[in-house]
Structure 1
Amino acid sequence: MEGLKVSEAKMMVYIHPSKSTKIYDAILRELSSLLFKFNENFNGVVLAYEFDILDKSARILNGIHPYIGVRINAKSLIFSPKPDMLLEGKVVKVTQGSIHVIVLGFASAIIPEQDIRDEFVYKIKHEEEVFSSKFHKRHVIKVGTMIRFLVKSLDEEILHISGSLMPAHTGCICWLARHLEDGAVTERSKKKKRENEEESILQDHGTVSGEALSVKDDHRIKKSKKGKRPKAES
């Protein structure tokens, strides 16, 4: 899935002097406060992290409430969706006017009716609301379906994504995987057929001084000459 990246940066973490005997736990607490929130410094949402303390001798910073500054090297997993990226998520609600999705278990996304391609038709099957493809009966989107969709925009404050199912390569992930695999098999079959045809042509033709000579045509010509009768003289 697009939108995920690993970011590595050197940081200064400020620890209250009362936590000086438990520096490691205090750093964990500070970094944990960044999780699942949009951070401008990382230009995304921090999903996970690991760190190493660079300087064992921390500095005490002057002020009304003096803090201890600890330098660390942090590696973070960042979720940073941008327009035109492809994301994957689980459908949690389907209505006639929209499809609601949860991405990575915390970010919400909505795909409004105007951004769902005409291939999908809203139906109620067995008392369940679904969007079903007019061309492929097995391509169905319903609650619980994992789908791939295109990002249109992101509201950074509430982590709300506006998505689209207009591109042909979006929809139910399971169906797309089978469809793309079938397409790859078909392409390989076409390639194999072309290779067989080329091999057959090479077997039927010889090459002399860079010029191709047809064995079949040459054989036919010789046979024709052999069976030719002499013309009677008048």
Structure 2
Amino acid sequence: MEGLKECEANLVVHLHPSKAKCANEAILAELSSMLFTYNDTFEGVVLAYDPKICSDVAKILPGLHPYFGVKLKAKLLLFDPKPDMILEGEVVMITPHSIHAVVLGFSSVFISDEDIRDEFKHKNIQGEETYVSQSHKKHRIKVGTVIRFKVKRIFGSGRHWLCSMVGQKFA
């Protein structure tokens, strides 16, 4: 899938002195707090990390509460979609005017009716909202279908996208 990238990061994690005995756990907890949130520094959503602590020596930081800084290197897996990238997501909701999907289980996508291919028409079949292809009657988009789409615009700190549908893939 497009939009995934790996990067090497040199980090300094600031830990409270009470965490000195279990510094490794505190470092992992600090890195875990970055998961599934957009990070401006890395220009993407952090999906995974692989830390390597550079040194056993930590530097005490001056101040009212003397935290200590631990240097480490981490491999990060980032999700950073750009306009015109093609992504896949699972449909979670259909309305007469839009398709809503989720990419990688955490990021929402909105496809408006003007961005849905003309061959698909909205229908309510036995109380279930679907988009049915006019050229291939068995091609349907409904909740649970995995669709392929092109990113049109990104807004809301890189977590929500306005997209146009370019194709579809069935689960």
TM-score (norm. length: structure 1): 0.70
* One-letter amino acid of the counterpart of residue 7, structure 2: S
1:73 matched to which residue of 2?
Answer: 73
> 1:158 Cα deviation (Å)?
7.3
Kept in 1: contact 2:80–2:158 (CA 8 A): no
> 1:18 Cα deviation (Å)?
1.1
CA distance in 2, matches of 1:158, 1:40: 9
1:135 matched to which residue of 2?
Answer: 135
Three-state SS of the structure 1 residue aligned to 2:55 is coil
1:18 matched to which residue of 2?
Answer: 18
1:174 matched to which residue of 2?
Answer: 170
1:102 matches 2:102? yes
Kept in 2: contact 1:38–1:156 (CA 8 A): no
Three-state SS of the structure 1 residue aligned to 2:21 is helix
1:112 matches 2:112? yes
Three-state SS of the structure 2 residue aligned to 1:21 is coil
More helix by share: 1
Q: Where do 1:1-234 residues align within 5 Å?
A: 1-157=1-157, 159-165=159-165, 167=166, 170-171=167-168, 173-174=169-170
Three-state SS of the structure 1 residue aligned to 2:41 is coil
Runs of 4+ in 1 over 4 A off after TM superposition: none
Q: Percent identity?
A: 51
Gaps of 5+ in 1: 176-234
Gaps of 5+ in 2: none
Kept in 2: contact 1:94–1:129 (CA 8 A): yes
> 1:77 Cα deviation (Å)?
1.1
Q: Which one scores higher on RCO, CA 8 angstroms, separation ≥ 6?
A: 2
> 1:159 Cα deviation (Å)?
1.6
* Higher-Rg member (1/2): 1
> 1:157 Cα deviation (Å)?
3.1
Three-state SS of the structure 1 residue aligned to 2:19 is helix
Label 1:137 to 1:120 Cα distance change in 2 as closer, same or farther (>3 A).
Answer: same
* One-letter amino acid of the counterpart of residue 142, structure 1: K
CA distance in 1, matches of 2:65, 2:156: 32
* One-letter amino acid of the counterpart of residue 67, structure 2: Y
More strand by share: 2
1:229 matched to which residue of 2?
Answer: none
* One-letter amino acid of the counterpart of residue 5, structure 1: K
> 1:61 Cα deviation (Å)?
1.3
Q: How many corresponding residue pairs?
A: 171
* One-letter amino acid of the counterpart of residue 18, structure 1: S
